[in-house]
Each structure stands twice: as C-alpha cells, then as structure tokens.
Amino acid sequence: MRKALDRIVMDGNRANDVIERIRALLKKAPARRDALDVNEAILQVVALLRGEAVKIVAVLDSGPGLDPTKLEQLYEAFYTTKPGSLGMGLSIFRSIVEVHGGRLWAEANEPRGAVFQLILPG
C-alpha cells in the first residue's frame, strides 16, 4: 500500500511539473534551464507509457524494405537477407511472442523500409 501511495504522490508531482511548464509556455515566460538526468527522464517516460507499450509496439526503419512475397519467410529458421546472419532472430522472437499470446508481423513502410509490429495481450 505504501509503495502505491508513493507512486501516486510521485505521479502527481510529475503532472504538476508538466502543467507548470505548459503555463510558462503560454505566458511566454523565459525558458527554464534545469540540469536533466536523461536516464531518469527515460525511466519516467517508460513508467508513464508502460500500460500502453505492453499492448502495442511498432518498429519502423528506412532500409531497403521487404519483398511482399517473402513476408512469411522472414520468420522461418535460417532465412536471412543479411550476409553473415544466422537467420534465427525473428524466428525465435516470434515464437516467444506467440507463446505469450501475442502476435508479430511485418509490412512494407512506404516509401521505403519496413514496419515490424508486436501486440501482446493486456
């Protein structure tokens, strides 16, 4: 219970900071220059988005793209388009996702590249 209350207070303080900064922007106040612990900021963003992040994730790239006729082959063991690769990564990853009741798929990213999408049950 104590841990939950501590998180509520911490989240309330974080929300208050955001509101204060939005008000300052609207008032055209001079920008604050605070020291920032980037690692802590990332951990806070992850904590805020954790509920949504575990439901849907999409990774986009801008590489050469995917051949639409070979999308399902991507997940076959030992299939690879990269020199020196074993072709096991996506096969293993998809198996793990499916064991946990999720789904992994890929699509072309227009105008180039690929989009890999992952959904896990909430």
Structure tokens, 100: 């946990």
Q: Say yes or no: 102 and 67 in one domain.
A: yes
Q: Say yes or no: 62 and 112 in one domain.
A: yes
Query: Based on the structure, what is the number of domains in the chain?
Result: 2
Q: How far is CA 14 from CA 11, 24, 48, 67, in A?
A: 5, 16, 10, 45
CATH number at residue 98: 3.30.565.10
Q: In this predicted model, what pLDDT tens digit does every residue of 11-27 receive, in sequence order?
A: 888 888 888 877 877 78
Q: In this predicted model, what pLDDT tens digit does every residue of 67-101 receive, in sequence order?
A: 888 888 888 888 887 788 888 888 888 888 888 88
Q: Say yes or no: 64 and 76 in one domain.
A: yes
The residue range of the domain holding 32 is 1-51
Taking only Cα atoms into account, the Rg of the chain, rounded to an integer number of angstroms, comes to 21
At residue 107, what are phi and psi to the nearest 5 degrees?
-140, 165
Q: Say yes or no: 27 and 68 in one domain.
A: no
Q: In this predicted model, what pLDDT tens digit does every residue of 23-68 receive, in sequence order?
A: 877 787 777 677 878 888 888 777 777 766 666 778 888 888 888 8
Q: Say yes or no: 58 and 117 in one domain.
A: yes
Which residue is associated with the tokens 């989009």? 115
Q: Say yes or no: 62 and 44 in one domain.
A: no
Q: Say yes or no: 118 and 58 in one domain.
A: yes
Q: Say yes or no: 47 and 86 in one domain.
A: no
